[in-house]
Amino acid sequence: MSLSFLDGRWILKMDIPSEEYLLKCSSSCAGCSDSLTLRYVLKAAGPDTVLIVPACCTSVIQGMYPQTAFNVPVYNIAFGAAAACASGMSNALRALGRKTSVIVYAGDGGTLDIGIQALSGAFERGTDFLYICYDNEAYGNTGMQRSGATPLGARTTTTPSGKMDVKKDIDAIVAAHSPPYMATACPAYPRDLFQKVRKALMFRGPSFLHVLAPCPPGWRFSPEKSVELGKLAVKSCMWVLYEREHGKLSLSSPSRTAMKKPIPLEEYLAPQGRFEGINAETLEALKQNIAESIKRLTAEEAGG
Ligand SMILES: Cc1ncc(C[n+]2csc(CCOP(=O)(O)OP(=O)(O)O)c2C)c(N)n1
Ligand SMILES: [Mg+2]
């Protein structure tokens, strides 16, 4: 553990343990950010953890029963029931006096679309758990159909000419439940991700982590570029890293820096086949959305 002074404030840095809970036999695609995210999530959560996983790429990465690539217990559950299952499991464990971390690890389709009512219910009930949505911005496991998280203009198998609607703002929906802790992250910034998982698990009650997970086959970029794509997302401010503790927002340092002078959005979009041929009007709308989100988040942090 070390203390460093960054962006005008002291930050406690925790060393990332060398223990691996995602084993090398995983069947993820090359450059998979879902598995990279899970690797850091499990390092942060440690062995006294149970994962609840609705159908998604993670169910595939897990491997085929009786083999598994995960070194913690996993409960595979139907899409609509993940957060409800977490309520039951967390309450049962607490009744037994156990502090086991209960983590729902779900995709964007399973969170923004199919599992949203159970998510809302568990947050309203105040269930002691962490809900992590790793967001590859489509239904990856079934062949990249659009989800509520797919950004405007992105081509998927069900939006072949580019999505006509903007990305659903799940963070605003979750924030409306006033959880004690919520944050965004990206595995391109592993220390930030690791610290946010650690922090989320320190709060009693529901916490939420929304992780951008660049997907090489789905977004159509080269697998070795996954980390680079995550950094470009943050540097262009298409993805903003922040945390909200008891409603108080603070920008995370990579985004605080990026917001002062974002890189051109084209640098983030160009390596991705899903944005190939995007028209000028859609590009302008995306830039407009970014400018608005910078304005809104900066004002919120300043207390405006
Ligand atoms: C009720 C129900 N509808 C559809 C499916 C088929 N299905 C399995 S995984 C999946 C995609 C999930 O997308 P997401 O949650 O974004 O996770 P990803 O695959 O991208 O990791 C779908 C549609 C299912 N298993 N159950
Ligand atoms: Mg997905």
pLDDT tens for residues 15-46? 899 999 999 888 899 999 999 999 999 999 99
Predicted confidence at residue 67, as pLDDT, reads: 87
Structure tokens at 64: 């085929």
Determine the pLDDT at residue 167. 98
**Lowest-confidence segment of 12-16, 77-81, 200-204, 286-290 by average pLDDT:** 12-16
22 forms beta bridges with 70
Task: Check residue 157 and give its pLDDT.
Answer: 98
Q: Strands of 49-54's sheet, edge to edge?
A: 74-77, 49-54, 101-107, 129-135, 206-212, 181-185, 242-245, 248-251
- Determine the Cα–Cα distance for residues 225 and 231; give it in Å rounded to an integer: 10
Which of these ranges, 18-32, 96-110, 114-128, has the smallest mean pLDDT? Answer: 18-32
The domain segmentation of the chain, as residue ranges, is: 17-301
pLDDT at 233: 98
Q: Is the pLDDT of residue 8 over 70?
A: no
Burial class (CB in 10 A: 0-12, 13-18, 19+), 79: middle
Q: How far is the CA of 12 from the centre of ligand 2 (A)?
A: 32
Query: Residue range 155-182: average pLDDT?
Result: 98
Distance of CA 209 from the midpoint of ligand 2 (Å) = 15
pLDDT at 65: 87
Question: What value does the mean pLDDT take over residues 287-304?
Answer: 95
Contacts of 248 by beta carbon, 8 Å cutoff, 6+ apart: none
Indicate which residue's Cα is closest to atom 22 of ligand 1: 142
Q: How far is CA 261 from CA 36, 166, 254, 264, in A?
A: 28, 24, 12, 9
Residue 229 has pLDDT above 70, yes or no: yes
| Residue minimizing CA distance to atom 13 of ligand 1 | 139
The number of the ligand 1 atom at minimal distance from the alpha carbon of 147 is 16
Pocket lined around ligand 1, Cβ cut-off 6 Å: 34, 55-57, 79, 107-110, 136, 139-142, 147
Task: Give residue 13 CA to ligand 2 midpoint distance, Å.
Answer: 30
d(Cα 221, Cα 275) in Å, to the nearest integer? Answer: 11
pLDDT of residue 162 exceeding 80: yes
pLDDT for 13: 65
pLDDT for the residue numbered 11 = 60
Q: How far does residue 168's CA lie from ligand 2's centre (Å)?
A: 13
- pLDDT digits 0-9 by tens, 50-94: 999 999 999 999 998 888 999 999 999 999 999 999 999 999 999
The CATH superfamily of 17-301 is Thiamin diphosphate (ThDP)-binding fold, Pyr/PP domains (3.40.50.970)
Q: What is the pLDDT of residue 26?
A: 86
Rg, the chain, Cα only: 18
Structure tokens at 43: 């390092």
Q: What is d(CA 21, CA 216) in angstroms, rounded to the nearest whole number?
A: 23
Q: What is the pLDDT of residue 3?
A: 65
pLDDT beyond 60 at 9: yes
